[in-house]
Amino acid sequence: MRPDKLTNFLQEYKFEIRISEQGKIISVGDGIVWISGLPSASIDEILTIEDGSVAMVFHLTEEMVGAVLLEQTVKLTSGMTVFHSGRILSTPVSEKLLGRVIDPLGKLLDSGPNLEYENLRKLDVLSPTIIERDFVTRPLYTGNKIIDNLLPIGKGQRQLIIGDNGLGKSSIALDIILNQKDKNIICIYVLIGQKNTTIVNTVQTLQDNNALDYTVVVAAEATSLPGLQYLAPYAGCAIAEFWMYAGHDTLVIFDDLTAHADCYREMSLLLKKPVGREAYPADIFYLHARLLERATSLSAKMGGGSMTAFPILETKQGEIAAYIPTNLISITDGQFYLDTKLFAGGFLPAIDVTRSVSRIGGKAQDIQIKKEASRMKLDYLQFLELEVFTHFAAHLDPEMKQKIQQGKILRELLKQQRFSLLTIEQQLGWIIAYNEKLFAEINLNKISECLFELLKYISANEMTLLTARNDWVKNLTTWFNNWKANVKT
Amino acid sequence: MQFSWTSFFLEIINFLVLLWILKHFFYAPVRKAIQTRKEFAENNLQQADQTQKAALELQNKYASRLQEWEKERIEKLSQLDHEMQQEKQKQLKTLTDLLNKEKEKFRAQERHSIEKYLVKKEKETLDASLKFTAKIFNSFADATLEKKIFNLLIGNLKNLPTEKLSILKAESLNEILTINVESAYPVSEEMQNEFIQVLQALFPDLTYKLNYKIESELLAGYKIAINSLVLLANLRDELKFFAEAAQNAT
Q: Give which of B171, B230, B239, B250 to mutate to test A binding, by max A Cβ within 10 Å.
A: B230
Residues contacting residue B240 through CB under 8 Å, at least 6 positions apart: A86
* pLDDT of residue A5 exceeding 50: yes
* pLDDT of residue A268 exceeding 90: yes
Answer whether A15 touches B (CB < 8 Å): yes
Among residues A488, A423, A487, which one has the least CA distance to residue A460? A423
pLDDT at A48: 93
Nearest CA of chain A to the CA of B205: how many Å?
23
Percent of chain B with pLDDT over 70: 95
Size of interface A-B (CB pairs under 8 A): 100
Q: How far apart are CA A228 and CA A29, in angstroms?
A: 15
Please list, residue by residue across A4-28, b when 16 or more beta carbons sit within 10 angstroms of its beta carbon and e when fewer do: eebeeeeeeeeebbbbbbbbbbeeb
Q: Do B152 and A301 touch (CB under 8 A)?
A: no
Question: CA B33 → CA A249, B42, B44, distances in Å?
Answer: 101, 14, 16
Residues of B with CB under 8 A from a CB of A: 100-102, 104-106, 108-109, 112-113, 116, 118-120, 122-123, 149, 152-153, 156-157, 160, 164, 167-168, 225, 227-233, 237-238, 240-241, 244-246, 248-250
Q: How far apart are CA A463 and CA B204, in angstroms?
A: 92
Q: How far apart are CA A406 and CA A136, in angstroms?
A: 33
The residue of chain B nearest to residue A93, with distances taken between CA atoms, is B116
Answer whether A17 touches B (CB < 8 Å): yes
Check A290, A359, A411, A418 and give the catalytic one: A359
What is the signed CA dihedral for B135, B137, B143, B147, rounded to 10 degrees? -170
Residues contacting residue A377 through CB under 8 Å, at least 6 positions apart: A149, A150, A151, A353
What is the Cα B244 distance to its own chain's centre?
A: 37
Confidence label for B239 from pLDDT (cuts 50, 70 and 90): confident
Predicted TM-score (pTM) of this structure: 0.83
In chain B, what is the straight-line distance between the N-terminal and C-terminal CA atoms, in Å?
Answer: 168
What number is the average pLDDT over the span A417-444? 91
Burial class of A398 by CB neighbour count within 10 A (0 to 12, 13 to 18, 19+) = exposed
**B249 vs A5, A15, A24: nearest CB:** A5
pLDDT at A475: 93
Of the ranges A250-259, B119-128, B180-189, which one carries the lowest mean pLDDT score?
B119-128
Answer whether A2 touches B (CB < 8 Å): yes
Among residues A350, A302, A312, A314, which one has the least CA distance to residue A332? A312
Q: Do B228 and A303 touch (CB under 8 A)?
A: no
Omega cis (within 30) before A256: yes
| Local structure of residue A79 (DSSP, 8 states) | T
> pLDDT tens for residues A207-240?
999 999 999 999 999 999 999 999 999 999 999 9
* pLDDT of residue B250 exceeding 70: no
Amino acid identity of residue A124, one-letter, is: D
> pLDDT tens for residues A479-489?
999 998 888 76
Q: How far apart are CA B27 and CA A143, in angstroms?
A: 102
What number is the average pLDDT over the span A442-464? 90
Taking CB atoms and an 8 Å cutoff, what residues of chain B touch A18? Answer: 231-233, 237-238, 241
Confidence label for B172 from pLDDT (cuts 50, 70 and 90): low
A329, A321 contact by CB (below 8 A): no
Q: Do B108 and A300 touch (CB under 8 A)?
A: yes
Angle formed by the axes of helices A284-292 and A323-331, to 10°? 30
Q: Give which of B97, B105, B118, B159 to mutate to test A binding, by max A Cβ within 10 Å.
A: B105
| Local structure of residue A108 (DSSP, 8 states) | B
> pLDDT tens for residues A120-151?
899 999 999 999 999 999 999 999 999 999 99
Residues contacting residue A426 through CB under 8 Å, at least 6 positions apart: A455, A458, A459
Q: Do B109 and A302 touch (CB under 8 A)?
A: no
Helix (H, G, I), strand (E, B) or coil at A46: strand
A310, A169 contact by CB (below 8 A): no
**A1 vs B156, B227, B250: nearest CB:** B250
> pLDDT tens for residues B90-119?
999 999 998 999 999 999 999 989 988 888
Question: CA A460 → CA A33, A392, A454, A479, B201, distances in Å?
Answer: 62, 45, 10, 13, 91
Helix (H, G, I), strand (E, B) or coil at A285: helix
Q: How far apart are CA A303 and CA A326, in angstroms?
A: 33
> pLDDT tens for residues A27-46?
999 999 999 988 889 999 99
What number is the average pLDDT over the span A261-281? 94
Q: Do B104 and A300 touch (CB under 8 A)?
A: yes
Element (H, E) at A64: strand A64-71
pLDDT at A98: 95
Helix (H, G, I), strand (E, B) or coil at A138: coil
What number is the average pLDDT over the span B193-214? 84
B250, A3 contact by CB (below 8 A): no
Q: Do B231 and A300 touch (CB under 8 A)?
A: no
* pLDDT of residue B248 exceeding 80: no
Residues contacting residue B31 through CB under 8 Å, at least 6 positions apart: none
pLDDT at B205: 75
* Interface list for A 290-329 with B (CB within 8 A): 300-304
Taking CB atoms and an 8 Å cutoff, what residues of chain A touch B100? Answer: 300
pLDDT at B142: 85
> pLDDT tens for residues A287-341?
999 999 999 999 999 999 999 999 999 999 999 899 999 999 999 999 999 999 9
Other CB atoms within 10 Å distance of the CB of residue A345:
10
Greater confidence (B120 vs A25) lies with: A25
A232, A166 contact by CB (below 8 A): no
Average pLDDT in chain B = 87
Q: What is the DSSP string of chain B?
A: ----HHHHHHHHHHHHHHHHHHIIIIIHHHHHHHHHHHHHHHHHHHHHHHHHHHHHHHHHHHHHHHHHHHHHHHHHHHHHHHHHHHHHHHHHHHHHHHHHHHHHHHHHHHHHHHHHHHHHHHHHHHHHHHHHHHHHHHHH--HHHHHHHHHHHHHHHHT--HHHHHHHHHTTTSSEEEEEEEESSPPPHHHHHHHHHHHHHHSTT-EEEEEEEE-GGGSSEEEEEETTEEEEEEHHHHHHHHHHHHHHH-
| Local structure of residue A430 (DSSP, 8 states) | H
* pLDDT of residue A160 exceeding 50: yes
Confidence label for A1 from pLDDT (cuts 50, 70 and 90): very low
Nearest CA of chain A to the CA of B119: how many Å?
7
Q: How far apart are CA A35 and CA A50, in angstroms?
A: 13
Nearest CA of chain B to the CA of A1: how many Å?
5
* pLDDT of residue B167 exceeding 90: no
Average pLDDT in chain A = 92
Taking CB atoms and an 8 Å cutoff, what residues of chain B touch A302? Answer: 108
Greater confidence (B205 vs A107) lies with: A107
| Local structure of residue A39 (DSSP, 8 states) | T
Answer whether A18 touches B (CB < 8 Å): yes
Of the ranges A350-364, B29-43, B202-216, which one carries the lowest mean pLDDT score?
B202-216
Q: Is A87 a catalytic residue?
A: no
Percent of chain B with pLDDT over 90: 30
> pLDDT tens for residues A52-102?
999 999 999 988 999 999 999 999 999 999 999 878 889 999 999 999 999
Please list, residue by residue across B219-241, b when 16 or more beta carbons sit within 10 angstroms of its beta carbon and e when fewer do: bbbbbbbbbbbbbbbbbbbbbee
pLDDT at A461: 86
The residue of chain A nearest to residue B120, with distances taken between CA atoms, is A118
Q: Do B233 and A9 touch (CB under 8 A)?
A: no
What number is the average pLDDT over the span B170-181? 73
Q: How far apart are CA A174 and CA A168, in angstroms?
A: 10
What number is the average pLDDT over the span B132-154? 87
Of the ranges A418-427, A428-437, B12-21, B132-141, which one carries the lowest mean pLDDT score?
B132-141
> pLDDT tens for residues A366-380?
888 999 888 888 888
pLDDT at B23: 86
The residue of chain B nearest to residue A25, with distances taken between CA atoms, is B228
* pLDDT of residue A3 exceeding 80: no
Q: What is the DSSP string of A201-262?
A: HHHHHHHHTT-GGGEEEEEE-TTS-HHHHHHHHHHHHHHHHHHHTTT-EEEEEEETHHHHHH
Q: How far apart are CA A322 and CA A338, in angstroms?
A: 16
